[in-house]
Structure 1
């Protein structure tokens, strides 16, 4: 049992600090996170947090690491490599979707955080099973993981209620701009104006993005093409 007069460093929990910082990032962006702000929210002095994080950079990295540790790694199955790789990418995307502000940090932590290393190892193993040589698997795996992460900021599911209202205003303005285009000069764009502006169905956005990534991997040669 913790004594009532225990020092702040014994009451602070690093995991709770990370969760608090993540909530700030989700609501206000990464720029809103400061050691002082987090200390104030926990009723301690900034010095108490420096016992857990050397600086803001280390705190920010801890957010990305926390998300990577949260990804439930799918169990290996007898399904084809592309089915398993899509499931791995979907698990990563599902964890990142509520945290669009932090998602761009993920590629830099993949080969550092234990959770990221587990994801990278599984992805490289599946690409090796697909026939990619070691260097090619590393290159396409890195590109594919970055592509998954880059889907997150554009997923309509990451928008909050205020953003949705702003989004509707922008859609109307974009639709009006397309309506002014010449159908003779831009027949395909004007014909698809509603689809282009009403754009992506929320439920299908990530599914379509993941399908495109996996389909692209299927069509790649197993080794890098020779260059002149």
Structure 2
């Protein structure tokens, strides 16, 4: 193979993490897959912690930040959340990667975080409120992208159908006088909904909350 690059290493690491879980990503495993010695990888990443930072940075680099954008802040904030969901969605291991790194050490994450803070400030929130809003928004995006509705491929269609049947039956069998809403909504609660509706409603819920707060300023 040609010259080994940091990008090639993290791309292969993400492929392994997506398919087999993050615990299986090791320097030795990567070296074997890439046909090099472990020392060749250490030239780019001295340990797994550095590798994880590289993986996180590569993940979020897929979301382009527009510095000279004069659209209203709600539009830009929505695009930020939707863009982050989109790039994280592509990798089932993304949530685990972001949970295991110091996000402050990830340049591309810092850029997204800084933009979220600036947009909240433009909406008229205080410094303290901006900090909370940015954290809630980023965590919401990570959670939406990691939702089970998007990763049912871990089971066969037959296994999924049986899991859903058992869970739905369990809710529908509850005493209706005690849990009327759970019994009534057992179907959509367990069977879920389309990914498009799940995402759009989730983003609407989060952004609308920020807009409502800003309108009270």
TM range (shorter): 0.7 to 0.9
Equivalent-residue separation in structure 2 for 1:155 and 1:73 (angstroms): 28
User: For the pair shown, which has the larger CA radius of gyration, 1 or 2?
Assistant: 1
Detail structure 1 runs of 4+ shifted over 6 Å in the superposition: none
Equivalent-residue separation in structure 2 for 1:138 and 1:122 (angstroms): 12
Equivalent-residue separation in structure 2 for 1:67 and 1:110 (angstroms): 12
Please show how residues 10-159 of structure 1 align to structure 2 within 5 Å.
11-74=3-66, 77-106=69-98, 108=101, 110-159=103-152
> SS of the residue aligned with 1:73?
coil
Between 1:201-210 and 1:88-97, the stretch displaced more is 201-210
TM (norm. structure 2) is 0.88
Equivalent-residue separation in structure 2 for 1:204 and 1:164 (angstroms): 21
CA RMSD for the aligned pairs?
Answer: 2.4
Partner of 1:217: 210
Q: How far does residue 167 in structure 1 lie from its aligned partner after superposition?
A: 3.1
Give the unaligned 5+ runs of structure 1: 1-7, 224-228
Equivalent-residue separation in structure 2 for 1:21 and 1:123 (angstroms): 28
Give the unaligned 5+ runs of structure 2: none
Report the number of matched residues.
215
